[in-house]
Structure 1
Amino acid sequence: MSTEPDTAGDGIDWRSETSDVEMSRRDRLNEFYEQKIYAPATVAWSDRRTRIGVLILSVYLLMAVVDLLGLWRDASPNQAGPLLSPFENMAYPLGTTRSGVDLLALIIDSTPFILQMVLAGGVWATTLAVIVGTVSGYKGGTIDTVITAISDFFMAIPGLPLVIVLALALSPENPIFLGVILTINYWAGLGRSIRSQVLSIREESYIEASRTMGTGSIRIIIKDVLPNIMPYVMVNFVLAARYTIFASVGLYFIGALPYTVQNWGVTLNYGYEQGGLFSMGAFHWLLVPIVAIVGLAFGLVLLSQGMDRIFNPRVRTRLTGESESIEEEETDTTTEMI
């Protein structure tokens, strides 16, 4: 006895509809990939600054992987002669310290900690600032007043003394916790700046149209407000990450953070104490961590500048060729009319 569904009576091909649904899902996935992943990546990669920034950051990620996998020697003393200059001995390409420690090993050993700390500080400060700034600027009224008062309170607290006190009191060794401490009140000023951006955006006609159609506030913020402030947010994320780098190095350099964790600021401090600022034989001891610090900050800045093209619709349209196709169609239409 046949178990096939009887579709003769209603004339509906259920298998065909199922195939159409599957194809539509596949089409949606392809469309999502093309619009959200492939097209933005192509636009960003077309900028030379993006390519250089990605290359620089890839070097730091590679150093982190090398350290985690133990592919380079440990930063132990008496491995080589004291104060070897860079490239004097290719086994120690960046030279050594006065006690014979490989400087490249010191830099590599610090990289995973630095990257985790920078990511934590940047994400914490930027995410909190975006939430505070968008909600305050879009909702207005009592909510805006309360949030603004809280932000003003945190802005009134001197940032550096607060961070130094927390660092001395807590002696944080976890990179994520340290990143949050270093940017404990950095979000307040950024949140006020984002609020100013949202105040001007919320009066735009397309925002009014969304409100008229009954769209919820959260959806309007996500779909209409955030895309317009993302270039500003990306730049400030990089600034927060760079601030985290400089603040951590400075606190390690002055001894406010414990030396139990390897950091470029610790290396910088030892190099200074051992006469790196006044002796050419030890100058590379200072130069190597400085280059590492500046290189990471420079790579982040270049990447943020290149990523601006993703969130700038005019630039993105031009680079993906859409505007060129429109011009060609207009030219063809004009020719036919003539």
Structure 2
Amino acid sequence: MSVLLESSSTSAAMRRNFWAGVWRVMKRKPSRLVGAVLMAGFAFMGVFGPMFYPDPLPRDPNMIIKPPSWEHWLGTDDQGRDVIALVVTGSRYVLLAALVTAVITVVVGTGIGLFSGFKRGRWDTVLMRLTDMKLTIPGLPLLLVLSTVWKFNSAVQMGSVLGLLSWGGVARAVRSQTLSLRERGFIEAARGLGLSTRHIVGKELLPSMAPYIAMNMLIAITAGVYAQVGLFFLGVLPYESNNWGQMLNTAVFRSGALTVPSALGYLLGPLLAILLLTLAIVLVVDAMDEIFNPRLREE
């Protein structure tokens, strides 16, 4: 019983020390705190933001493509709807699709990379050739072809397709990390004790690579946002849901935002959202790099 209590207290102390270290790293550069706050803000906006607006958004024929004002800080669109309201309500589709993209990218890529790097031999050869084939397939042309037969009616569908087309790089990177870690002493000791492959991969290798995988997931979110916004901006997907890419397409090609000053706010709204989301992810990844890198913490 005393052993269990001692183990529990040790684990609690380690968690306290970890979070204390996280707080020190975040305080060292205030910009990292800004990034964390922005990330939390986007998460809140994606989950709860649309609840603050009626569905559909009210349209005012007398307010079509108006410049920014006290009532509409970024102006209105070609249907008289507030641009900020469009950005907020359109965030759910974009962020959910990006999250699904990142989860599938990381899960598939990490699974293949771990298994391939740890097993080596025939499995490694087969999986890496499959990965190489995946990396040679041009993503954008394939998405353009798929969009002609699949309308991507939901964010989950969009994220699933993007994720299944994006795991190659993660698989290659995780395999390289696995090849390095499998020669370390603690892995050799685990194999010497006769522990199963599932235990070694799940309990020894995976926790060691968790920070690297988490950073890849954040980067995959950014890539997912860019990919789907680009597709909607090009006009190859239907306008069945409000999102930032559809806003950019409408602002440029229907509202003339590049030549009409009053429509500039309609273009800036989604661009600012994408810029701030990217900035938040970059700042959080920078903080994570120092949190999980002992040499950086000591500098």
Task: State the TM bucket, normalised to the shorter chain.
Answer: 0.7 to 0.9
- Name the structure 1 match of 2:206: 226
Residues 103, 163 of structure 2: 8 Å contact kept: no
- Name the structure 2 match of 1:275: 256
Letter in 2 for 1:253: F
State the identity as a percent: 31
Q: Report the Cα distance in structure 1 between the residues aligned to 2:87 and 2:36, rounded to whole angstroms.
A: 19
1:289 maps to 2:267:
no
Cα displacement (A) at 1:152: 2.1
- Name the structure 2 match of 1:308: 289
1:54 maps to 2:36:
yes
Residues 101, 160 of structure 2: 8 Å contact kept: yes
Match of 2:104 among 102, 108, 124: 124
Coordinate RMSD, CA, aligned: 2.7
Greater relative CO, 1 or 2 (CA 8 Å, sep 6+):
2
1:104 maps to 2:90:
no
Letter in 1 for 2:137: I
Residues 79, 102 of structure 1: 8 Å contact kept: no
Q: Report the Cα distance in structure 2 between the residues aligned to 1:73 and 1:185, rounded to whole angstroms.
A: 33
- Name the structure 2 match of 1:164: 144
Q: Report the Cα distance in structure 2 between the residues aligned to 1:137 and 1:128, rounded to whole angstroms.
A: 14
Runs of 5+ consecutive residues of structure 2 not aligned to the other structure: none
Residues 39, 280 of structure 2: 8 Å contact kept: yes
Match of 2:128 among 148, 164, 169: 148
- Name the structure 2 match of 1:252: 232
Residues 228, 311 of structure 1: 8 Å contact kept: no
Letter in 1 for 2:155: P
- Name the structure 2 match of 1:77: 59
Computing the radius of gyration from Cα coordinates, the structure with the larger value is 1
Q: Report the Cα distance in structure 2 between the residues aligned to 1:102 and 1:21, rounded to whole angstroms.
A: 62
- Name the structure 2 match of 1:178: 158
Match of 2:16 among 34, 44, 50: 34
114-123 or 205-214: bigger deviation = 205-214
Residues 47, 306 of structure 1: 8 Å contact kept: no
**Residue-by-residue CA offset, 1:146-167 (whole Å, 9 max, x unaligned):** 2112212222322112222223
Residues 83, 96 of structure 1: 8 Å contact kept: yes
Residues 83, 281 of structure 1: 8 Å contact kept: yes
Number of residue pairs the alignment of both structures matches: 297
With over 3 angstroms needed to count, the CA separation of the structure-2 counterparts of 1:197 and 1:23, relative to structure 1, is: closer
Runs of 5+ consecutive residues of structure 1 not aligned to the other structure: 1-16, 320-338
Letter in 2 for 1:298: L
With over 3 angstroms needed to count, the CA separation of the structure-2 counterparts of 1:295 and 1:82, relative to structure 1, is: same
Q: Report the Cα distance in structure 1 between the residues aligned to 2:199 and 2:292, rounded to whole angstroms.
A: 18
Cα displacement (A) at 1:231: 4.1
TM-score, structure 2 as length reference = 0.87
Cα displacement (A) at 1:94: 1.6
Residues 43, 309 of structure 1: 8 Å contact kept: no
168-177 or 251-260: bigger deviation = 168-177
Q: Report the Cα distance in structure 2 between the residues aligned to 1:229 and 1:23, rounded to whole angstroms.
A: 29
Match of 2:183 among 203, 215, 238: 203
Residues 227, 311 of structure 1: 8 Å contact kept: no
Letter in 1 for 2:16: E
Residues 67, 261 of structure 2: 8 Å contact kept: no
Q: Report the Cα distance in structure 2 between the residues aligned to 1:269 and 1:253, rounded to whole angstroms.
A: 4
